[in-house]
Amino acid sequence: MKFEKEILCIGAGYVGGPTMAMIASKCPQYRVTVVDIIPEKIDQWNSADLPIYEPGLDKIVKQARGKNLFFSKDIGAGIKAADIVFVSVNTPTKTFGAGAGMAADLQYVEKTARQILEYSESSKIVVEKSTIPVRTAQAIKRILVSDKSDVHFEVLSNPEFLAEGTAMRDLENPDRVLIGSQETDSGLKARNELVEIYANWLPKDKIITSNIWSSELSKLVANAFLAQRISSINAVSSLCEETDADVGEVARAVGLDSRIGSKFLQASIGFGGSCFQKDLLNLVYLYCHYGLNEEADYWEGVLKINENQMDRFVKNMLRNMFNTLAGKRVCVFGFAFKANTGDTRNTPSLTVVEKLLAEQAEVAITDPKALDNAARDLKDAKGNYELISDPYEAAGGCHAIAIMTEWELYRDLDYQKIFDSMQKPAFIFDGRNIVDHDKLFEIGFNVFPIGKPKKVHF
């Protein structure tokens, strides 16, 4: 079958896989290929057991795979055939050299640009899907025009706003799609081509366009605002704990102001995941680069509150469990950085587990989807820990439970059964405020929510 367009995505990760599966499923007239430098990842995408867990992803991949969605190891052939190349490679925080611990590590993006140049025999639109510092398109373009004057490349910015755990829903019905281009004739033409792809399933008013630098910056700013809201409500939660105010009631009262809105006002252990911290650090680095130090300090404060929230959580456990956790068994409910994903990158759970191990607690970790990743993340951890898939078994014999991930299943467990199997006094520290605190208190637990009055029996 002859397809109308050949679309390639470089990078078969949490963004590349789901976004391309959605494009393939909504646009049967296009052929969509996803490539990666890790061959095992491609094997997994071609198997029954996909490399990532995301509700709804399995179904969509299985429907389109082999028809107009392909996962391939042949990056060169993919580039040669493509009309449009999405770049969806990782852009982690740099761990070495200048800007270590803050700047984005752009080596994967740069290598991708060089690969595109090497294998291209015809003109292409190159789309930045990865989150990158503002003005990266310029660097990509410079590499792409450094050779082959007969081949034209147009670089667009099309940042991805999906959230893990709801990626398929977000892709199918996003708040908006943003496409940035250079405002030249060829830039605007390329931008329209990308608009037409999304218009296959989205109304045009959801597809917004801008200049390329605004588009690049918008992604960093969107994540900074989301993270800032979490840190803002978390900063309120500590004051609530001191004053017997209830952060849930405060959030409701504040969020009903239509200028503020009610979303993302849920106090918790703090944010994790591969994006918020990395993108905030990236933004702070950009401010510093331009000498805007006060603004850099402001955004850095969001990260400090987040770290402080995890620190406070463990100190609270320690203080309330008679100032020692040594030799005590603590059960950690959830290792994924949020519900409905197996992703554990920058998960608050890892930070909390490391702090518990440093206190010489014995830690039993349970999670429905993230235990393989937990095993990898904890392989160098010093201390006594176990990974147990059954939450009842994990909690048995423990002094305390710490709820780290808002998995629905943790709301509905038989807490009487769990209480009966635990050491007494039994403690529960709810880092997500998801369980019924009154009910647990009635059962006999000493209950410590985030930002709400504690409920204790002594």
Ligand X SMILES: NC(=O)c1ccc[n+]([C@@H]2O[C@H](COP(=O)([O-])OP(=O)(O)OC[C@H]3O[C@@H](n4cnc5c(N)ncnc54)[C@H](O)[C@@H]3O)[C@@H](O)[C@H]2O)c1
The residues that touch ligand X, with contacts defined as CB under 6 A, are 10-16, 35-38, 41, 75, 88-91, 108, 111-112, 115, 130-131, 160, 162, 164, 274-275
Q: Pick the catalytic residue from 275, 288, 331, 398.
A: 275
Beta carbon of residue 17, minimum distance to ligand X (angstroms, whole number) = 8
Q: Is 398 a catalytic residue?
A: no
Tell me which residue of 266, 346, 277, 351 sits closest to 314, measured CA to CA: 351
Number of helical (H) and strand (E) elements in the chain, helices listed first: 17, 14
Q: Which is nearer to ligand X, 55 or 425 (CB)?
A: 55
Beta carbon of residue 135, minimum distance to ligand X (angstroms, whole number) = 15
Whether the upstream peptide bond of residue 203 has omega within 30° of 0, thus cis, is: no
Beta carbon of residue 97, minimum distance to ligand X (angstroms, whole number) = 19
What pairs with residue 6 in β-bridges? 31
Q: How far is CA 322 from CA 139, 269, 427, in A?
A: 56, 22, 12
Distance CA 37, CA 130 (A): 16
Q: Which is nearer to ligand X, 65 or 454 (CB)?
A: 65
Q: Which is nearer to ligand X, 78 or 334 (CB)?
A: 78
What pairs with residue 211 in β-bridges? 181
* Token reading at 181: 């281009």
Q: Which is nearer to ligand X, 229 or 345 (CB)?
A: 345
Torsion 120-125-129-133 (CA) sign: positive
Q: How far is CA 12 from CA 21, 65, 84, 343, in A?
A: 11, 14, 16, 15
Q: Which is nearer to ligand X, 37 or 318 (CB)?
A: 37
Contact 24, 68 (CB under 8 A): yes
Q: Which is nearer to ligand X, 157 or 237 (CB)?
A: 157
Beta carbon of residue 74, minimum distance to ligand X (angstroms, whole number) = 11
Q: What secondary structure does DSSP assign to 278-290, as a single string?
A: HHHHHHHHHHHHT
* Nearest residue to ligand X, by Cβ distance, number only: 13
Three-state helix/strand/coil letters over 185-233: HHHHHHHHHHHHHHCCCCCHHHEEEEEHHHHHHHHHHHHHHHHHHHHHH
Classify residue 178 by burial, with Cβ atoms within 10 Å: 0-12, 13-18, 19+.
Answer: buried
Beta carbon of residue 368, minimum distance to ligand X (angstroms, whole number) = 19
| Collapsed DSSP state (helix, strand, coil) of residue 372 | helix
Cβ-based neighbour number of residue 322 at 10 Å? 10
Beta carbon of residue 450, minimum distance to ligand X (angstroms, whole number) = 24
Contact 218, 248 (CB under 8 A): no
Contact 280, 223 (CB under 8 A): yes
Beta carbon of residue 5, minimum distance to ligand X (angstroms, whole number) = 21
Q: Which is nearer to ligand X, 19 or 181 (CB)?
A: 19
| Collapsed DSSP state (helix, strand, coil) of residue 239 | helix
Which positions are annotated as active-site residues?
Answer: 275
